[in-house]
């Protein structure tokens, strides 16, 4: 048995934006390999979605041409089309169809925006014993290290700066001295983000099946892919930096304000486009146990034709989490400056920003906020990945089988 607790490597799948059976042809049963349609015959033999609890019998080993977890692939339900059964946008829909199975935090059908957000929150609420320790510990470590870096590195910079009339040399020195501080805090955030993303992805993958996962299980499942996830994240960052070097640096050197604005907007647009295009690479890497470049290709394929939908869902999630974080952090930050400084006016004083009181209360607010924000962001990304695979590849059939849902996808419901 494959001991991978992640998701099956998809192999060949239907064309982007199409569902099996959409042309009106009835798929052949798996017992006819010679004439079997492409969507079922090329289901991946090596992978599986399974994370059996202790004491459960493992699924049978995968056979050639088998689907998720080694079981024979099944044709699409209800006339060979996903649309009539689920009624998702683009499908005609039918009244009186049985509701989709819901073994875990989401129903096994194409998801709407509310269901994706609700699934992320439901996982955080019902699996808090696994989610909260990960995010709380990581957020605490990140904020403590960031607070120490800001305290001892920025304090030296502000002490040498003339607050009333800083000279150009002083400002240049302050900017140059702030770069190591920024680099250090960004590196801390980067490592923490990779660790949280890896472990939460495994928790969400089990929550979809209605299974709980402990912190130790999440770490065990995520650890083999950590280096690849670091490489994937680094490649994205390097790509954005090189893109900035090509589009912004030349016009910045020319000192033409108009070209600088144009280059900045062009870079921002391309950065957003690439960010959404490869937004599903992380769950593809972790759950399909793939390589870095295969994960990029998978994300590009899954996002194709749904870029705007994923963009709006991602943007809405970012806005919601930013508002929540601001509600938590800003009051504590203002309290810190009011109680340990000279009131809110001291928020503009560089020396007051490195005082222990404001730094400590701000760090506490960020710890609370990140403990909630990180699971929601990771959960939305994982559920977007699940949703796209359900829409394009009929993943719900394999999820239902892995979750033990009987007679799912058959004509009898």
**What local confidence, expressed as pLDDT, does residue 80 receive?**
37
Confidence check: pLDDT of 77 > 50: no
**Which pLDDT belongs to residue 208?**
94
Model confidence over 272-307: pLDDT tens digits? Answer: 999 999 999 999 999 999 999 999 999 999 999 999
Q: Are 375 and 200 in contact (CB under 8 A)?
A: yes
Q: What is the distance between the alpha carbons of residues 14 and 43, in angstroms, rounded to a whole number?
A: 10
Quickly state the pLDDT bin for 81 (edges 50, 70, 90). very low
The pLDDT assigned to 368 comes to 94
**E strand or H helix that includes residue 362:** helix 356-393
Q: What is the pLDDT of residues 11-24, one digit of tens each?
A: 434 334 444 444 44
Render 237-278 in DSSP notation, one character per residue: HHHHHHHHHHHTHHHHHHT-HHHHHHHHHHHHHHHHHHHHHT
More confident residue, 30 or 251: 251
- Comparing 209 with 30, which gets the higher pLDDT? 209
State the pLDDT at residue 177: 58
Relative orientation angle of helices 356-393 and 168-208, to the nearest 10 degrees:
40
Lowest-pLDDT range of 20-34, 228-242, 309-323, 346-360: 20-34
What's the mean pLDDT in 389-401? 91
Mean pLDDT of 7-34: 43
Q: Rounded mean pLDDT of the chain?
A: 75
Confidence of residue 118 (pLDDT cuts 50, 70, 90): very high
The whole model's pTM is what?
0.72
pLDDT tens by residue, 121-152: 999 999 999 999 999 999 998 888 888 877 77
pLDDT surpasses 90 at 204: yes
Predicted pLDDT of residue 371: 92
Query: How would residue 187 be classed by pLDDT, with cut points 50, 70 and 90?
Result: confident
**Mean pLDDT of all residues in 189-198:** 87
Tens-digit pLDDT profile for residues 357-377: 888 888 999 999 999 999 999
Q: Is the distance from CB of 376 to CB of 321 less than 8 angstroms?
A: yes
47: CB partners within 8 A, 6+ apart: 2, 4, 6, 7, 8, 9, 10, 62, 68, 288, 289
Determine the pLDDT at residue 82. Answer: 39
Q: Is the pLDDT of residue 214 over 50?
A: yes
Judge whether residue 6 has pLDDT over 50.
no
């Amino acid at each position: 048995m494959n001991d991978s607790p992640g998701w099956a490597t998809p192999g060949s799948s239907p064309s982007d934006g199409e569902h099996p059976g959409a042309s009106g042809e009835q798929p052949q049963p798996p017992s006819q390999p010679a004439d079997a349609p492409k969507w079922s015959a090329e289901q991946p033999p090596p992978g599986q979605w399974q994370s059996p609890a202790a004491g459960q019998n493992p699924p049978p080993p995968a056979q050639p041409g088998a689907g998720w977890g080694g079981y024979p692939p099944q044709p699409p339900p209800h006339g060979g089309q996903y649309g009539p059964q689920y009624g998702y946008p683009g499908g005609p829909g039918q009244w009186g169809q049985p509701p989709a199975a819901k073994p875990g935090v989401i129903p096994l059908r194409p998801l709407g925006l509310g269901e994706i957000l609700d699934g992320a929150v439901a996982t955080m609420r019902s699996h808090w014993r696994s989610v909260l320790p990960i995010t709380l510990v990581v957020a605490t470590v990140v904020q403590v290290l960031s607070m120490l870096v800001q305290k001892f590195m920025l304090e030296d910079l502000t002490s040498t700066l003339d607050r009333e009339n800083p000279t150009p040399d002083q400002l240049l020195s302050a900017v140059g001295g702030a770069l190591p501080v920024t680099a250090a805090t960004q590196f801390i955030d980067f490592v923490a983000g990779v660790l949280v993303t890896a472990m939460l992805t495994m928790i969400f993958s089990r929550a979809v099946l209605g299974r709980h996962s402990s912190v130790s299980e999440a770490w065990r499942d995520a650890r083999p892919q950590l280096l690849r996830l670091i490489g994937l994240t680094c490649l994205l960052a390097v790509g954005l930096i090189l893109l900035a070097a090509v589009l912004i640096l030349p016009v910045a050197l020319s000192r033409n304000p108009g070209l600088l604005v144009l280059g900045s907007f062009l870079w921002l647009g391309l950065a957003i486009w690439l960010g959404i295009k490869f937004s599903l690479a992380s769950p593809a890497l972790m759950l399909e146990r793939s390589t870095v470049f295969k994960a990029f290709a998978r994300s590009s394929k899954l996002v194709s034709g749904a870029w705007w939908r994923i963009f709006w869902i991602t943007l809405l999630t970012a806005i919601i989490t930013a508002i929540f974080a601001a509600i938590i952090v800003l009051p504590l930050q203002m309290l810190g400056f009011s109680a340990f400084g000279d009131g809110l006016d001291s928020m503009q004083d560089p020396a007051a920003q490195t005082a222990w009181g404001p730094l400590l209360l701000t760090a506490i607010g960020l710890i609370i906020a990140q403990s909630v924000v990180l699971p929601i962001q990771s959960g939305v990304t994982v559920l977007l990945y699940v949703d796209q695979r359900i829409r394009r590849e009929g993943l719900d059939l394999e999820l239902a089988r892995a979750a033990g849902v009987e007679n799912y996808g058959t004509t009898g419901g």
